[in-house]
Structure 1
């Protein structure tokens, strides 16, 4: 199996058009492509930069000409869970016609969409990318090729992967940014390539505040990683 990570801009997608105009993002929770009816049914999480942005984005989405149906399942402050049915886009049609398939959830923000697309062979991949290039703007961000053993391993350990992912998602924006900057600048190297004082200067806060942000992020990620490792160990014992 060939798995592509695509950064995509479709010119007939209501979600992309909406995120172009409004500070809102969409993350897919569930999706079902009906090729006979040429429609895509989805459940998504919509998040606005503010409550007003969320409301404006949902109004624009509902009025988009390629939107068949858009309804709110739940809503709280700047986050909503929505259900939608849209017309099959040119990119969806190209992937389906060339024996490709969606392998993971998609996320849309700032007029771009991150897709995970799978193919069984190089020829199907080449045909699809050539067709996509004619009507869409995209870049291949990553390409992996898995054999059956690797795929089996991924499926068998999906619970551990999910636990680690949830741990990463539990970081606040501040914790994540602090952890990323510290790691990128060599804070965890031996010897260290940056100090707490330099990180404090970067974020314009105290060394104590930087240290607390790092400790919180480290604790969350370590807890998730240990849980994932325990899941792997339990499966190995079985």
Structure 2
């Protein structure tokens, strides 16, 4: 299987047009393409920085000419879970007509959409990408090719992977950024290429605060790793 990570801008997509006009982001949690009716049904999480932006975004989505149905499943503060049905876009039709299929959830923000698309053969991929160029703006950000054994391994260990992801997602923005900067600047190299004092200067906080942020982020990531290892060990018996 060939798996592509595509940064996409469609010109007939309600979600992309809405994020162009309003500071709102959408993440799909479920989708179903009705090929006979040429419509896509989705469940999405809509997230903004303010309640006003959320209302503006949902209103713009409902009023889009390619939106068939848009309804709220739940809403709290600046986040909503919504259900939608839209007309099949040119890109969706192109992928499907050339042997492609969706392999993962898509995210839409700032007028662009991140797609995960799969193909079984190189010629299908080449044909689909050539056709996409006629009516869409896109770039392939990543391309992976998996054999049957690799795919089986991924599926077999999907719960372990989720455990690891949960550990990473539990990091706060501050912990994530501190961990990232420390790693990129060589804090975990031997010998170290940066110090706590230098990291403290970078973030304009105390050395103690940097150390605490690193310890919290390390513990959360380590808990995720250990949880994934334990789940893999359990699956082997």
Q: Which TM-score tier does this pair reach, normalised by the shorter chain?
A: over 0.9
What is the CA distance between 1:104 and its match in structure 2? Answer: 0.4
* Alpha-carbon distance in structure 1 between the residues aligned to 2:216 and 2:126: 45
Equivalents in 2 of 1:56, 1:2: separation in Å? 38
Residue number in structure 2 paired with 1:61? 61
Question: Could you tell me which residue of structure 1 aligns to residue 168 of structure 2?
Answer: 168
Instruction: Structure 2: state its 5+ residue gaps.
Output: none
Partner of residue 125, structure 1: 125
- Cα deviation for residue 48 of structure 1 reads 0.2
Partner SS, residue 18 of structure 1: helix
Give the C-alpha shift of residue 62 in structure 1.
1.2
Residue 193 (structure 1) shift: 1.2
CA distance in 1, matches of 2:50, 2:197: 34
Name 1:49's counterpart in structure 2.
49
Deviations 1:149-169 (A, max 9, x none): 000010010100111111111
| Alignment gaps of 5+ in structure 1 | none
- Residue number in structure 1 paired with 2:105: 105
Partners of 2:200 and 2:103 in 1: CA distance: 41
Find out whether 1:89 has 2:89 as its counterpart.
Answer: yes
Report the Cα distance in structure 2 between the residues aligned to 1:152 and 1:25, rounded to whole angstroms. 33
Aligned to 1:220: 220
Q: Give aligned pairs, total.
A: 237
Q: Deviations over 1:15-62 (max 9, x none)?
A: 111111111111110000011111100001111022222121111111
Provide the rounded CA distance (Å) in 1 between the counterparts of 2:131 and 2:106.
20
C-alpha offsets along residues 194-218 of structure 1, whole Å, 9 cap, x if unaligned?
1112212222221122111111111
State the Cα distance separating 1:109 from its structure 2 match: 0.8
Tell me the distance in 2 between the aligned counterparts of 1:173 and 1:56.
26
CA distance in 2, matches of 1:99, 1:175: 42
Tell me by how many angstroms 1:71 deviates. 0.7
Q: Once the 2 structures are TM-superposed, how far is the Cα of residue 147 of structure 1 from its aligned partner?
A: 0.6
The residue that corresponds to 2:2 in the other structure is: 2
Shift of 1:10: 0.8
Range 145-154 or range 213-222, more displaced = 213-222
Secondary structure of the 1:135 match is coil
- Cα-Cα RMSD: 0.9
